[in-house]
Chains A and B, each alone.
Chain A
Amino acid sequence: MELILDRWFHIMAGIVWIGLLYYFNFVQAVALPKAKADNTAAGITKHVAPQALLWFRWAALVTWLTGAWYLERSGIGLGAAFMLKGSAATIGLGAWLGTIMLFNVWVLIWPNQKKVLGIVPADDATKAKSARIAFLASRTNTMLSIPMLFFMVTGSAAHGLPRLF
Chain B
Amino acid sequence: MKNPLDSIVGTIISGFVLTAILYVFIVNFLLKV
Contacts and interface: CB of A to CB of B under 8 A. Distances in A.
The interface size bin for chain A is 20 to 34
B18 A89 contact: no
Contacts of B3: 136
A148 to B, nearest CB: 9
Main secondary structure of the interface of A (DSSP, over half): helix
Given A84-B30, A93-B26, A146 B16 contact: yes
A25 B10 CA distance: 12
A93 B24 CA distance: 13
Contacts of A127: none
A155 B16 CA distance: 17
Nearest to B18: A147
A143 B5 contact: yes
A139 B11 contact: yes
Given A93-B22, A150-B19, A143 B11 contact: yes
Contacts of A146: 12, 15-16, 18-19
Interface string A115-142: 0000000000000000000001001101
Top 9 nearest A-B pairs (CB, nearest first) are: A146-B15, A139-B5, A147-B19, A89-B30, A143-B15, A143-B14, A150-B19, A143-B11, A147-B18
